[in-house]
Amino acid sequence: MDLHLVIEGDKDLTGQLVRQITEAIRSGRLAPGDKLPPSRLLADRLGLSRKTVAEAYARLTFDLLVTGRVGSGTFVAERVERQTGPARQTPLAGAAVAARWRHMTTPLRHSGPDGGARFEYIGGAPARSLFPHDEWRRCVLHALRQGARSRGLYGDVQGVPELREAIARHVAFARGVRCGVQELIVTNGAQQALDLVARVLVEPGAIVVVEEPGYSPARHLFAAQGAHVIGVPVDAEGLQVQHIPDGTRLIYVTPEHQFPLGMPMSLRRRQALLARALALGAIVIEDDYDSEFRYEARPTDSLQSMDANGIVAFVGSFSKTMSPELRLGYLIAPQPILEAVCTAKHLSDWHTSTPTQRALAKFMQEGELQKHIRRCHAVYAERRTILMQRMAGDLAPWFDLIPATAGIHMTAIARPGVDVEMLITLARRVDVGLYPLADFFHDSPPRPGLILGYGAIETADIEPSLDRVRDVLLQMSARLPHLAT
Residue 408 is part of a domain; what is its CATH number? 3.90.1150.10
Q: Which of 37, 39, 34, 43 is closest to 7 using CA atoms?
A: 43
pTM: 0.86
Whether residue 314 is found in the same domain as residue 394: no
Whether residue 273 is found in the same domain as residue 144: yes
Would you call 38 exposed, middle or buried from its count of C-beta atoms within 10 A (0-12, 13-18, 19+)?
A: middle
Q: Which of 349, 366, 383 is the last residue of a domain?
A: 366
Whether residue 182 is found in the same domain as residue 312: yes
Whether residue 283 is found in the same domain as residue 189: yes
Whether residue 238 is found in the same domain as residue 144: yes
291: left (phi over 0), alpha (psi -120 to 50) or beta: alpha
Whether residue 239 is found in the same domain as residue 356: yes
Q: Evaluate whether residue 82 is within a structural domain.
A: no
CATH assignment of the domain containing 34: 1.10.10.10
Whether residue 376 is found in the same domain as residue 314: no
- Which amino acid does the sequence have at 92? L
Query: Who's near 319: CB < 8 A, 6+ residues apart?
Result: 124, 126, 189, 190, 326, 327, 328, 329
Whether residue 307 is found in the same domain as residue 234: yes
Task: Give strand ranges (E) for 15-64.
Answer: none
Give dist(CA 305, CA 77) in Å, integer: 65
- Which amino acid does the sequence have at 3? L
pLDDT at 152: 84
Mean pLDDT for each 10-residue chunk of the chain (485 residues)?
Answer: 82 94 90 92 92 95 92 89 66 85 78 74 93 97 93 92 97 91 96 97 97 96 95 97 98 96 95 98 96 82 94 96 95 97 96 96 97 96 97 97 92 96 97 96 95 96 98 88 50
Whether residue 49 is found in the same domain as residue 139: no
3-class secondary-structure state, position 359: helix
Whether residue 176 is found in the same domain as residue 300: yes
Q: Which of 316, 344, 366 is the last residue of a domain?
A: 366
Pairing of strands 435-436, 449-453: antiparallel
Q: Evaluate whether residue 422 is within a structural domain.
A: yes
Give dist(CA 252, CA 312) in Å, integer: 10
CATH assignment of the domain containing 280: 3.40.640.10
> What burial letters (b/e) apply to 155-181, b meaning 16+ CB within 10 Å?
bbbbbbebbbbbbbebbeebbebbbeb
Give dist(CA 74, CA 244) in Å, integer: 68
38: Cα within 13 Å, side-chain hemisphere: 6
Q: Evaluate whether residue 378 is within a structural domain.
A: yes
Whether residue 315 is found in the same domain as residue 376: no
Q: Which of 338, 366, 394 is the last residue of a domain?
A: 366
Which residue range(s) make up the domain with 240? 132-366
Domain count, the chain: 3
Q: Evaluate whether residue 182 is within a structural domain.
A: yes
Q: Evaluate whether residue 334 is within a structural domain.
A: yes
The distance in angstroms from the start CA to the end CA of the chain is 67
Whether residue 415 is found in the same domain as residue 284: no
Nearest 5°: CA angle at 21, between 18 and 27? Answer: 130
Q: Evaluate whether residue 328 is within a structural domain.
A: yes
pLDDT at 85: 58
pLDDT at 446: 95
Q: Evaluate whether residue 108 is within a structural domain.
A: no
3-class secondary-structure state, position 363: helix
Are 357 and 365 contacting, i.e. CB atoms less than 8 angstroms apart? no
Q: Evaluate whether residue 201 is within a structural domain.
A: yes
pLDDT at 485: 46
